[in-house]
Structure 1
Amino acid sequence: MSDPFSFLPSGGVTGAEIRARDWSGTSLGPPEAWSPILKSTLGLMLACPTAMFLAWGPDLLCFYNDAYRPILGYRLEAALGRPFREVWASIWDEIGPLVDATLAGDSTTVTDMPLDLSRDGRPERGWWSFSYSPAIDEAGRVAGLFCVTAETTARVLGEARLRESEDHYRHTVELNPQVPWTCDPQGNITSFSNRWLTLTGQGPRDPYGSGWIKALHPEDVPSTVTIFTACLASGDPVDVDYRIRVAATGEYRWMRARAQPRRDATGAIVAWYGVVEDIHDRKLAERDLRALNATLERRIEEALAQRKLWADVFEITDALVCALGPDFRLLAINRAYADEFEAIYGIRPRVGDDLIGLLAHVPEQQAQARAIWTRALSGEAFTLIEEFGDPDRKRPSYELAFTPLRDAEGRRIGAFQYATDVTQRLRDQEQLAKAEEALRQAQKMEAVGQLTGGVAHDFNNLLTIIRSSVDLLRKPDLPEERRRRYMDAVSDTVDRAAKLTGQLLAFARRQPLRPEVFDVGGRIASTADMLASVTGARIRVVVEAPTTACHVLADPSQFDTALINMAVNARDAMEGEGTLILRLECRRGLPAIRGHAGTSGPFVAISVIDQGTGIAPAELPHIFEPFFTTKEVGKGTGLGLSQVIGFAKQSGGDVDVASELGRGTTFTLYLPQAEPPAAEVAHQPRAALDGQALCILVVEDNLDVGRFCTQILEELGHGTVWARNGEEALAEIERDPDRFDAVFSDVVMPGMGGIALARRLRALLPDLPIILTSGYSDVLAREGTHGFDLVRKPYSAAQVAEAFRAVPGRRRTARAT
């Protein structure tokens, strides 16, 4: 009896399963009826070690070879002879279009396609490369499809890890205080960290090739190029010092460039890897040491020539001086050194003695001395401070300076030590540090006491007005005119309290600013009339400003307040009569002020110049302190100049003052100059939807504030839901995301704060309006509002109404859409 499966190769699990299956009930029929092309294709596929499958016939019945079996996973038991679509139903959305294109006669190749094969019944993300080809029967028709496949998951994940590693490397390079760089075998720069651009001020493309040389000091270019070229030719490591011009200061600093070659398997150089490090301070120290060394060597050489062994030099100083040869034997020693050595170790050293051998009875000191003198005898010049002596006696501390000792021909013949007793100096420094710390603590406590007393005094005055007005408002049958007057007094006092809080925060540099770019000259001109009314009719206000625009990035309201505070001080100093000059200068440098280093800028300088009585020198160091004032009681709070300096510091600037008794005072406010804002495209503002009732989620942890807030919103005609914290607010939103038209949230709350809540809600519902409210927040002071609208506490019903006037009815809009 003939074998109907003789076309199959012998062996193999899949071949055995094909033989064992009854095919008569399938659309292909028994194997005797199979087409020759199907038989030959199956025979070739089963014999191939590469994973592949064949889908044949009108039902695209599935055949595969042994290499393909692991890919099937849990589908393996029922895959053979089943329609291809049923076998891979879980990923048919991804491969179905490819199957259709192949049956239409197109061959398709896909690389690294992500698929969820779920081979063990669980989601399994993998990547695959495969090719689909039409399977043609004897009549030339497409009878099925043939696929060769390979899993590429390991390679894809490996490449992703490599990209992550490269990204980590790039960030590491940019954070390095040194400047990593690479160049090709010819010396052309191919990469560098951005720190080079920061240091030199070169453009992003300037350093490539040989462009980096333009940043060097002209005197250092020839020697640097010579050494660099020689190393490129020889393959020796690069080690060269040169100066570059630092863009931030305009000064030249010493740098050290080092590099090692990278070679291929044949030993040929394929690239150079290097770093540039700042060695300017070390260069200066070496220069000073060389000068000292030259002086010492000159004296020593003169003494050697006269065979005095430098006795004159050694004996005219109170310092401990000695010289050692390469074998640790004393070449010279002065009396002070010998006396101190004998007092400490009980042995008197003499010229010719082995200094290390003299310390054999104190092994720890011997090992330490050997290590230190070995460094010195190797040619290193250095300075250190050591403590010597027995614990039971005074322990003197010495500053030990070591320099190489050379003969007249420049050969190193030993090392020279110059020891100075610095015991008292160190003790004085320690006592000075303790005294300075105690003084700082006392000043801190004095400032805290002054601040606390000033705040209590001003706030108690404000609270007295509020308390008295509330008591009067409780009277029955109060006339309407008096009721309105008392209500206005409460409202005005609240505004004054809020202003006082803002001044305190500005002094502490904690006031959340709203910076924007504006023209300073235009701002000064627009407020000149108001300043004239503030200063009085007998004071003439003169504005001196350039004709060109001059912009800064700052809070305009705080800028106006600072200008008015300085103008009011000038008015009081002139006793109501004189000329007040407001002078604006652009692109100025920031001078050194109150011990802080200056910078080249550019800065905008706004000077307020008066012809008043001036400020006493003893008072100048205190004028910016909170509540410090020279005015009479009731004439000032002492917070005006505190606000000015707080605003200036928080905006990246400073305030300088120059004063002469009887001649007047000049206050100069420095702010960083900014580029003018780009022209904005005009657009139509969104129309306010006045009168529309909204559903507002109120998030407030303070019970009293929460009750008043919801009452205000409900009085305005809105519906409210009150959440006591961020977590409760999230639960309300997740319960019904379309329920609310807006969120009104406090910033400072226990647990999740308002900023974190707003970010979560923005990610969940990008179109949900979010308005924040706060009296003060560290986060707002440091980082701003992150783009969210802010209503500052204390707020009024009118301010709340204005904040929600432009909010559209989100639920109504969503339904209409």
Structure 2
Amino acid sequence: MMREVEGQSTSGVLGSILLLDGSHLRHGAGPSLPEAYNAAIDGIPIGPAVGSCGTAAFSKAPVYVSDIGTSPLWADFRELALSHGLRACWSTPLISGSDEVLGTFAMYYREPREPVEGDLAVVDLITRTAALVIERRKSDAALRDTAERYRLVARATNDAVWDWHLADNYVLWNEALEAAYGHARADVETTGAWWIEHIHPDDRQRIDTSIHAAIDGCAENWTDEYRFLRADGGYAEVLDRGHIIRGPDGQAIRMIGAMLDLTHRRRTEAALQESEERLRLAVDNAEIGFWDVDVVNDILIWPPRTKAMFGISAAAPATMQDFYNGLHPDDRDATSAVYAAAADPDQRALYDVEYRTVGREDGIVRWVAAKGRGVFDDDGRCIRVIGTAIDITERKRLEQALRELNETLEKRVADAVAERKLLADLVEGTDAFVQVAGPDYRWLAINKAASDEFERIYGMRPQVGQSMLKVLDGYPEHRAAVAAVWGRALAGEEFTEVGEFGDESRDRRTYEMKYNVLRDSAGRQIGAYQFVYDVTERAEEQRRLAAMEEALRQAQKMEAVGQLTGGIAHDFNNMLAVVIGSLDLLGRRIGAGDPRAKRYVDAATDGARRAATLTQRLLAFSRQQPLKPETVDANKLVAGMSDLLRHSLGGDVRLETVLAGGLWRTHADPNQLENVILNLAINGRDAMPGGGRLTIETANCHLDARYTSTHLGLQAGHYVLIAVTDTGAGMPPNIIAKAFDPFFTTKEVGKGTGLGLSQVYGFVKQSGGHVKIYSEPGEGTTIKVYLPRLTGADSEHDEEQPLSDLPFGDRQEVVLVVEDEPAVRQFSVDALTELGYQVLEADGAAAALRLLDAHPEIALMFTDVVMPEVNGAKLAEEARRRRPDLRVLFTTGYTRNAVVHNGVLDPGVEMIGKPYTIEELAAKVRDVLDAPEGG
């Protein structure tokens, strides 16, 4: 526009447009003005006396300066303008349709000049035209920005997002349709019919009816669940949600929605149900009842034993309303209040209550003692309340009998202290342990059951009249504990206490003790009595249940973090394959001719290799590294590492090995096992900064069912043990609990990644084993690694792996590279060419098969595993169908694919993991090409 204005002018005008940016003007166009002048005025502020343009933008009115040499508006810019031969400037603001200043249009002249009527008409036309163009461009930019944000949102989500234009039945899908369900957008028909056809036949009519009912009605939203056909032929369970956009007449014109894949969630729910079933079976075999309230979904879980406490048959359903209805009317309010306090996020009280129930089916009144706690999520919301219940009806009957006995005998006991055995004689028939003591801790009465139990756990028989404190003089700690609980009772407190008593060298048991005050006929306290039950087995069962729940929570946490780290490592491996390989090729090209460049390449390569090591540790923790298990003699492996270990530990640490004779073989990846032992040894060294002793010990061991029952996923049986013990500082329990978490470290910044022990944990779990830490502050640490014993013929010998050179290829040998990532494919082609092979390349399965048909001389196909449409495994299957003699080498940076199952390569599969160096690639390609036919 400016060039056209200048070309039409007969007076030598120079045009300029400045664009308003906040409170400053920016250079927009000035094709004939000197570049130095345009640069100088770029960014000038607007104001009441800032040249012609700054003043015009500020006042929103034209400013015509006929002589810059005399105008006060140009005081700050006069020398600049005159130095470039500019003498007059007519400036007009560019105004939008909404009265917004967009910028200024200026006409410069090289001699003083006043505007005339014709000039003003031209200025008016140009300013209006320029304002329209600028305003249109800004609107277009805003529209593109909105469209880009929508595109980025659709790409960022993992849900398959669909946009259905109802008028022409056109459906647009985002990229997540392929990522989540395998359907490439290029193969998808953009119609609603395609979506309906991919719904499971049993769900299709229901979904078709429900969505059209929402569209044809007046609903704003639609939600339903169904099974959706994946590209691999399986069905995914999905939750589909859509928002309906309607026109002014209420007619549906468009619908936008998203499909959430519920498959993983359903599997998790099934696993949780299985875990809860195991827990239920364990509780059913105990003497306690279990209960679990799902607060969010209002679901009550009661096993048959708990239902029986409410007079409900085992097969009958039970709800929270049955719980409230089953409470005795006199106990209902108090019990409900205690439950509400346990579920209250602010109180989080312990649910500990005794109440009566009235059987729903049999009408029998029972006494129940229940304990439990609330479980809260990260937002503080109570999601579960879980606990145990015990039928204490018989105990209550005995206590009532004892109270009645106390009420009738208190006066006689007070009047005839000499007959102190009376109370004990009256309760000899009960199995409970009953003791009565006076204010001086002397026994007033004790029944035979209590005497027998005291003698069994302490080796001495108590007598009426003796001081219980004097009897326990030989056990100071026990004496203090007895004095504490009886002191409370003799002080007038009535309570129930659970505690452990007994000489550990004889027997130590857990008791539930109920203390009551003993009064005379006038109501004065004359002592206290105790009613005791042995609850050792019940307490042990509760501890086992708590340990199982904690183990389940820990396993779920580690699994979730493992899935996250595995996905991150996959992307890093692809990037590092290009970086390491390109640096390797660059280093070979440079050689020793440029030392400084060679040093830079070596430094970059070292950093990339460190990143690759970190990625492998992430894969190890997430149990996604491809293992190559072999028959391993742990004794031989440890002995072979002696020099490496001594070099790594330094002179201040003394290394000792204790190798068991007749050690069983195990089946594991020897390289990874060496890394585990080295990791543990270095951790032990770091725990002994002042030096010490590090012991590596091997042994055969058996983990029984009692031990494995408290460790989820661990099978009972024979294991090979490798234990690493240091004499260092040790660890407190809170550190042990987090030691295997990824990136957790107690070392200072720069001294450790926090992935060493998490890598150990991932490898051992992936190998079907178990790892356990034993440590106390100041007492050192022992980490025990258990690997399953290998049985069968392979357990009796080791297979020696021959070493091979890294020869170059022959130009007559042709290699086909199949890789969908351009950068990775280019590196692979360059590397193999550098190694002397003739190389062909393809970006996917279709191109690869065409090249195989056209080039029968291809000897090896080097293919990525994870590729769109057709993966590497399926490509290899089709290629070998056409060419049975074709050699195949796979590569991948992620192991959850078609050639690795349970972390182990499929039989006969050759694979090299990303990233890899040229040396590793050369050796692997040569091994595959030189392998015997059918090997």
Normalised by the length of structure 2, the TM-score is 0.39
Normalised by the length of structure 1, the TM-score is 0.44
